[in-house]
Chain A
Amino acid sequence: MSVSPLPALDDDNRFFWTSGRDGRLRFLRCRACRRYFHPPAPRCPRCLGPDVAPEAVSGRGVVESFTFLPAPPDGGDDGRRVVAWIGFPEQDDLRLTAALVGVPVDRAAISLPVHVAFEVHGEVHLPVFVPADDPGGAS
């Protein structure tokens, strides 16, 4: 179980943090130049066009880097100790920081293929990532 604060939902970020309701991960994408971008902004950072909307991505990704959170003080392991940069095949500068779930610390590795899953906290569906060969990652 997460011991960290959850994002406060507002009109700009609600689509992202609630996207997992249908099991899909979404980023804002420019309808004019087709660029994905993150974090959300009112205009496309490339062409500056205002016509941007959430669009689902495959949910497949790859670990670009990672670190470990401190072990819980009670000695228990909540399965949330590895946090990674995740890159996405849709675009080379699209990236998220997110927890790796079901990855023991000794299995964490750069280039590990992963797939999105979601931790549900009320309205918030927190994207996390599981190894691509883990059936729990299928959406």
Chain B
Amino acid sequence: MDDIGRGPEGAVISGIGQSDVGRRLFRPALGLTLDAALTAIEDAGLTRDDIDGLAAYPGSGSAAPGFAGPSLLEVHDALRLQLSWYAAGVEVAAQLGPVVHAAMAVTTGLARHVLVYRTVTEGSARARAKEAQAERAPSSRPATVEGPMQWLAPYGITGAPQWYAFYVRRYMHEFGLQREQLAQLAISARTKAARNPKAVYREPLTLEEYLGSRMISDPLCLYDCDVPCDGSTAFVVSRADHAPDTASPAIAIEAVGAGAGPRMYRDQLPDAWFGASAAAQMWARTDLGPGDVDVAELYDGFTFLTLSWLESLGFCGRGEAGAFLEGGERIALDGELPLNTNGGQLAAGRLHGLGLLHEACVQLRGTAGDRQVPGAEVAVVANGGLPNMGCVLLTRVR
């Protein structure tokens, strides 16, 4: 690819934090966010008075219950921050967008220490919505739809499992992917989650259970989908020379990839390598390559999105992921590419992208306990499905 520059250089993740995580916690989103944020700030060796930047995904304005978490306004006010710079939004490099933006902010001098957070309360919000629905008549459907959804919603295509089901079937047709191969992602996630005390689903999953589960949007079944949960994850992003020395070392942001796919419409991109552009840009910004990666944390809102990232990032060739996943040994904790090492969103819960970033940092610090990948020095984190894609390469600061 053309040399478009190295992107932000010299940014580090100086602190990480995470609230309690659970299927349904019934706790306010702001409270969870502050738990995560204060942990991250303390972990960075800072106080809230040092925080002069704030970034989040998706910010305010999302209608889906429990999806958005608190707005910047609420967090800003709750912590009485003095901000030099802030940004939030949903049309960014997926859930990693605020991390990319924070790295840009600290390396260009817009801010010194940026607090980044992602909070979800989808588990409890959906439970409440279900309860409320049972008490009243079924809500009437919207009579009309406008904007990009007008091309899908009139045919009953309204949700993410459906958007991706088309790609999965097409991919199966072209490359011979078997459901038994895709299942390895879900099965392996549970095996790893058994070693993660915070994971939502820690029981093993068998191939028979996977194949026998109900279809959500054929060929995607129940266990191809991640699990809604409650929890907040936070980070402090700093410039390397601003990060104080602490017991928990900073993690270097070695390279970022923030490119969009060639089409952003969810039915107009003919192939399933949604992250190819972001991945190519990330690799062009570093001397490291896929063979150097010790730990991969690849978005698994659906199993197939992880498969797509495996190929987009070059861990196997296009169309070869089925064979790569066969038997699940390569992606195990002691495999050639330890993948989604805390159980990912499929088993640990949909902390929506930044849960995977947190796990990458824990692995690079060597504090992952029973699920630690020995000697992990390089981790890749990739977030998003179509349309928004982002990836970052992280290294242990040596």
Binding site for B on A (CB under 8 A): 2-8, 10, 13, 38-39, 64-69, 80, 83, 85, 93, 95-99, 110, 126
Contacts and interface: CB of A to CB of B under 8 A. Distances in A.
B157 A8 contact: no
Nearest to A38: B268
B369 interface: no
Contacts of A39: 148, 151, 265, 268
A7 B154 contact: yes
Contact of A126 (B144, B154, B162, B219): B154
Secondary structure of the A contact surface, majority rule: strand
Interface stretch (B96-104, B117-125, B166-174): B166-174
Given A6-B143, A8-B144, A68-B215, A85 B156 contact: no
Contact of A93 (B144, B146, B154, B270): B270
B54 to A, nearest CB: 35
Nearest to B146: A8
B179 to A, nearest CB: 14
Nearest to B150: A7
A65 B167 contact: yes
A69 B173 CA distance: 20
B114 to A, nearest CB: 36
Contacts of B167: 65
Interface of B: 141-146, 148, 150-158, 162, 165-167, 169-170, 173, 215, 217-219, 265, 267-268, 270
A13 B154 CA distance: 14
Given A5-B145, A39-B148, A65 B156 contact: no
B169 A5 contact: no
A36 B3 CA distance: 33
B150 A67 contact: no
A38 B148 CA distance: 11
A10 B156 CA distance: 21
Closest 6 CB pairs of A and B: A67-B165, A8-B144, A65-B170, A7-B150, A5-B145, A8-B146
A119 B173 CA distance: 30
Given A13-B150, A65-B170, A85-B267, A97 B145 contact: no
Nearest to A83: B155
B217 A95 contact: no
Contacts of A38: 268
Contacts of B141: 3-5
Given A4-B156, A67-B166, A67-B217, 8 more contacts: A38-B268, A67-B165, A67-B169, A68-B217, A80-B156, A97-B152, A97-B267, A126-B154
A96 to B, nearest CB: 8
Contact of B267 (A5, A8, A80, A95): A95
B145 A8 contact: yes
Given A7-B146, A68-B215, A97 B157 contact: yes
B169 to A, nearest CB: 5
A89 to B, nearest CB: 15
25 contacts: A2-B154, A2-B156, A4-B153, A5-B144, A5-B153, A6-B144, A6-B145, A7-B144, A7-B146, A8-B144, A8-B145, A8-B146, A13-B150, A38-B268, A65-B167, A66-B169, A67-B162, A68-B218, A83-B156, A85-B267, A95-B268, A96-B151, A96-B267, A99-B156, A110-B170
Contact of B166 (A8, A66, A126): A66
Counting chain A CB atoms within 10 Å of each CB, the highest count among B143, B167, B218 belongs to B218
B385 to A, nearest CB: 15
B156 A69 contact: yes
A97 B268 CA distance: 9
A10 B219 CA distance: 35
A4 B169 contact: no
A108 to B, nearest CB: 9
B169 A110 contact: yes
B155 A97 contact: yes
Contact of B143 (A5, A80, A97): A5
